[in-house]
Amino acid sequence: MFTPKRIIFEKGTLEYETGNEILTLFKGRDNIEIINLSNNNIKQHIPGEDLPSQYKEGKRTLVVGIKKNSKFQTCKPSAHYQLPLVSGCMGQCQYCYLNTMLGDKPFVKVYVNTEDILKQAGKYIEERLPDITIFEGAATSDPVPVEPYTHALQKAITFFGANPNARFRFVTKYTDIDSLLDLEHEGHTEIRFSINTLSVIKQYEYSTASLNKRIEASIKAVQAGYPMGYIIAPVFIYPNWKEEYHELLMDIKKKLPGDLKYPVTFEIISHRYTSIAKNRILEIFPESELPMNDEERKFKYGQFGYGKYVYPKESLANIKGFFMNEIDTLFDNKEVKYVI
């Protein structure tokens, strides 16, 4: 569970049940600052003299707000729409693209009016009937660490479970999913876990759950009847990378039940970065050893019009061949969504 250093309540949030529940849970703790805003000027209450300190203080800040803009962002190709339950993440993964999206003080923000958000989702579902509409709950966040006090995923899963024309999916590096296990999800929600080798997690994924804890949580999700998948990302090429990714897949193979109700899905994403991201990462983590040598990469324009540095064609083919062969050999009931 995410326990913040400070909680900032935007104006009007304490008029909602969720806002009061969060206040009740955390008030009175000497190590947590409670701030009630009158003008919703959030960032002036987050300290920091330079970018690294601002980043760290932002990561320790929880903002409680009201979602006022009812329009949802699209989320192609994995879903039709983002479901804006949470923004930001407590994790401090060096490579994360959110480092360039959420500003100098990347706070975690939750919303107290989940019912309004789900009502808007219902309108999008109606517009696309009789087709099924898919919603992604973790496009710009990890909603699991705040779930114990927002209950947003619980409400969303129950909502989508009751709607035959909707599907919901989210991904996490955390394990606070026990409150989700007994819900009537009807197989309409896919829970995915972002995993990587022990080397990558230790070197680059700060303030996240351990690999073993993530896999344990994934098994709980399977046993609760959820469709479940793994995102292995970002994949790095380094000495012994094939051996370590093989060990990772073997560990999953050994722990997964044999009688899967749904195919376990895999999404494999190789490491890539933009120049803006590289500069921001090196400002926040000046000692970072992320492999970001432009001369060893290929520059490629992405679907959103900006360029990024990816592994050369031969390396990408090596990654794809390795994972396709490994997954096909080790797993029976599986689906590889993509290897990119």
**Whether pLDDT at 213 is above 90:** yes
Question: Is residue 104 over pLDDT 90?
Answer: no
Q: State the virtual CA torsion across 302, 166, 174, 64 in degrees, nearest 10.
A: 90
Q: Does the structure show a pLDDT above 80 at 5? A: yes
What backbone phi and psi angles, to 5 degrees, belong to 34? -110, 125
Q: What value does the mean pLDDT take over residues 282-303?
A: 91
SS3 286: coil
Does residue 101 have a pLDDT over 80? Answer: no
End-to-end CA distance of the chain: 32
Q: In the block, which residue shows the tokens 């109606």?
A: 126
CA distances (Å), origin 232, targets 25, 261, 265: 35, 22, 11
* pTM flag (> 0.85): yes
How many domains does the structure of the chain reveal?
1
Tell me how far apart the alpha carbons of residues 282 and 289 are, in angstroms, rounded to a whole number. 9
- Please say if the pLDDT value at position 305 is more than 80: no
Residue 98 has pLDDT above 80, yes or no: no
pLDDT at position 302: 67
Mean pLDDT of 226-255: 97
pLDDT at 20: 96
Asked, for residue 154, whether it belongs to a domain, the answer is yes
Q: What is the CATH number of the domain that holds 43?
A: 3.40.50.12110
In-domain check, residue 275: no
Q: Give the pair of three-digit tokens for residue 327.
A: 């997954």
Query: Is 264 inside a domain boundary?
Result: no
Is there a domain that residue 233 lies in?
no
- Whether the CB-CB separation of 231 and 171 falls below 8 Å is answered with yes
* Among the listed residues 106, 101, 76, the one whose alpha carbon sits nearest the alpha carbon of residue 91: 106
**What pLDDT is attached to residue 304?**
60
* Mean model confidence pLDDT for the chain: 94
The percent of residues in the chain predicted with pLDDT above 90, rounded, is 89
Per-residue pLDDT at 326: 98
Taking residues 297-312, what's their average pLDDT?
84
Amino acid letter, residue 200: V
Average pLDDT over every residue of 203-230: 97
pLDDT digits (tens, 9 = 90+) for 159-190: 999 999 999 999 999 999 999 999 999 999 99
Amino acid residing at 332: D
pLDDT at 317 over 80: yes
What is the distance between the alpha carbons of residues 340 and 334, in angstroms, rounded to a whole number? 18
The answer as to whether 159 is a domain residue is yes
What pLDDT is attached to residue 261? 94
84 within domain boundaries: yes
Task: Print the domain residue range for 30.
Answer: 1-193
On whether residue 316 sits in a domain, the answer given is no
Q: What is the CA radius of gyration of the chain?
A: 20
Domain assignment of residue 101, yes or no: yes
pLDDT above 70 coverage of the chain, percent: 99
Segment 40-61 mean pLDDT: 92
* Residue 303 confidence (pLDDT): 61
Find, among 102, 106, 94, 57, the residue nearest to 285 by Cα.
94
Q: What is the pLDDT of residues 29-49, one digit of tens each?
A: 989 999 999 887 898 999 998
Helix boundaries (H) for 69-209: 114-127, 147-150, 152-161, 198-204
Alpha carbon distance 248, 233 (integer Å): 12
Beta sheet of 334-339, edge-to-edge order: 74-75, 79-82, 133-136, 166-172, 189-195, 228-235, 264-270, 334-339
> For 90-106, what is the mean pLDDT?
85
